[in-house]
Structure formats: structure tokens, C-alpha cells
Amino acid sequence: MDIVVCVKRVPLTEEVDLVIDEQKKGIKKDQLAFILNDWDNYAIEEAIILKEKYGGTVVAITVGNEDDEEVLRRSLAMGADRAIRVEVSDISRFDSLGISKILSCVVKDLPCDLVFTGVLADDDNCGIVGIMMAENLNMNHANMVTAIEIEDGKARVTSELEGGLGEISLIDLPALITIQTGINEPRYVSILGIRKAAKKELKIMNLADLGISDEELSPKTIIEEVYLPPETEGAQMLTGDPDKIASDFIEILTKKGVME
């Protein structure tokens, strides 16, 4: 079972005041901490679980700059065999279609039974790259998958639908699957583990190696402007010391008739 997993490094935005950049095309990232996209963490774990069961290899790929290698090293520490980074200094030049084309170009030359991506990236919240890759590569696909079983060269997958419903289907391999959170319990990665994994192969390619021209990658969707959420009335804040907050809280519940 040879599996390729696409992983992305994304900023942590909890409890920070995001600042719009001068061009109003993105946010300032120099003060932010970064992590492996949550969905991709589950995707790597799923690949490693399958490899442990059926043998084979796991290759992690990212499109990004040198800093983005951090997520590849983490993937290697989790158990991936090799990693590939496609050098792109400024990823904001591309839209999801462009990224999907770059990734597809890498994947088409790799032996693979399965390609995993996350359902969604935590930064752009697009949810596009995975299925576009499947179409670029003319590969079978399943979306938002929460369980995978391999049987006779096919994958039996559960796709998550709305309202607590799942849809089970059978797809021929090779296939591209977008992984939903909760499919497994991603393993813990220690600093030592990351250091040990430094011995594993991390290959760097550029767009010229892949034979893709800039023209092929010109974006079809264009971010005109990004901005902070428009003001809304918002919540009425309970303030003061904890005692005061607690009394206000109880008063609200009493008014609503849920406190005897």
C-alpha cells in the first residue's frame, strides 16, 4: 500500500488579533505560530496506520517555502518514509487550482495506491485542493472520509454527510481520499522523534523540475480584498468580578425559566 499524503503548514489564529497586510490581500504572518493543518495530521496518521497493517510506503508532500518543511519533518517523525517539498517562495501567487496542479504533477510520477489530503485547510478554508487533484489525475475519489477499510484492491469508505449520517461506498484503487477529523487518534510526536527523523530523505523540487509553466498556474480566482469581519451588535458582555458575573449569569437563566 503506497500512500502519498499532502500536508500544509497553517498559522494558529486563536487568541491573536489578526492584522491585514498593506495590500489587503492577506494577513501579516510574521508574529504567528504555525502548526500542521489539523485535517492533514489525521491524514498522515491514517496513512501510517494503513502502512503498518499492509506494508508499503508513505510519502508526505508540501508546496511551500523552507519554513514549511517543519510539517514534513513532523510527518517523517510520525512515520512517513520520505518527504518532498515543492519550493514556492510565495504561495499566495496561486489559487487552489494552481496548488492542486503542482501537487498532481508530483503525485503522477510516484507509485501510489492512495492519495490523502485533508478536507480543509485551516487558513483559506477552501476545501478544494484534494478533489481537484483527483480530477487532474483522473483518479477515483471519496470526500470527507471518516473510516477506511481495504478489501481486495478496493477501499470501503465512510463519507460523512450532514446530521449524523454516513454514506458507505466502495471505490477501486488507486483513489484520492479527503480525510475528515476524528478518523483516528493522531500519535504524539516528541522533539526527539523529530530530531531522529532528520535522517530520512527530504527532497526539494522546484516548478521547473516539474515542467509546469507559470502560465499554467495563473489563478482563476482572485482575492480582491480581505478585511476584518463587519461589526455586528455582538454579545452583551457580563463584566465585573467573578461573583458579579455569576449573579448576572443566574439572573439570565432565571429570566429564561431554566432555574427553579
Ligand X SMILES: Nc1ncnc2c1ncn2[C@@H]1O[C@H](COP(=O)(O)O)[C@@H](O)[C@H]1O
Ligand Y SMILES: Cc1cc2nc3c(=O)[nH]c(=O)nc-3n(C[C@H](O)[C@H](O)[C@H](O)COP(=O)(O)OP(=O)(O)OC[C@H]3O[C@@H](n4cnc5c(N)ncnc54)[C@H](O)[C@@H]3O)c2cc1C
Residues 133-152 that bind ligand Y (CB under 6 A): 144
Q: Residue 10 CB, nearest distance to other proteins (Å)?
A: 9
Q: How many CB atoms lie within 10 A of CB 225?
A: 8
Contact 27, 226 (CB under 8 A): yes
30 binds, among other proteins, ligand Y, ligand X, none (CB under 5 to 8 A by kind): none
- Between 22 and 162, CB nearer to ligand Y: 162
List CB contacts of 43: < 8 A, sequence separation 6 or more: 5, 6, 7, 116, 117, 118, 179
- Between 99 and 197, CB nearer to ligand X: 99
Pick out residues in 76-95 that bind other proteins (CB under 8 A). Answer: none
Pick out residues in 194-233 that bind other proteins (CB under 8 A). Answer: 218-230, 232
Judged by the rule CB under 6 A, the positions of this chain that interact with ligand X are: 6-8, 37, 39-40, 61-64, 91, 96, 99, 103, 117-118, 120-121, 124, 126-130
Question: CA nearest 11: which of 95, 79, 92, 80?
Answer: 92
Q: What is the DSSP letter of 20?
A: B
227 binds, among ligand X, other proteins, ligand Y, none (CB under 5 to 8 A by kind): other proteins
Q: What is the DSSP letter of 108?
A: T
How many Å apart are CA 144 and CA 119, to the nearest integer?
A: 6
Only one of the segments 1-9, 47-55, 85-93, 170-178 lies at the binding site for other proteins (rule: CB under 8 A); that segment is 170-178
**Interface with ligand Y includes 17 (CB under 6 A)?**
no
How many Å apart are CA 23 and CA 184, to the nearest integer?
A: 40
Pick out residues in 115-134 that bind ligand Y (CB under 6 A). Answer: 119-120
Pick out residues in 239-258 that bind ligand Y (CB under 6 A). Answer: none
Question: What does the radius of gyration of the chain's CA atoms come to, in whole angstroms?
Answer: 22
CA dihedral 120, 125, 129, 131 (to 10 degrees): 60
- Between 204 and 240, CB nearer to other proteins: 240
Contact 197, 58 (CB under 8 A): no
**Interface with ligand Y includes 15 (CB under 6 A)?**
yes
Q: Residue 163 CB, nearest distance to ligand X (Å)?
A: 23
| Single residue of 164, 188, 192, 211 touching other proteins by CB under 8 A | 164
Query: How many residues make up the chain in this entry?
Result: 260
| Single residue of 166, 206, 214, 216 touching other proteins by CB under 8 A | 166
- Between 37 and 158, CB nearer to ligand X: 37
How many Å apart are CA 186 and CA 159, to the nearest integer?
A: 19
Footprint of ligand Y (CB under 6 A) = 14-15, 119-120, 144
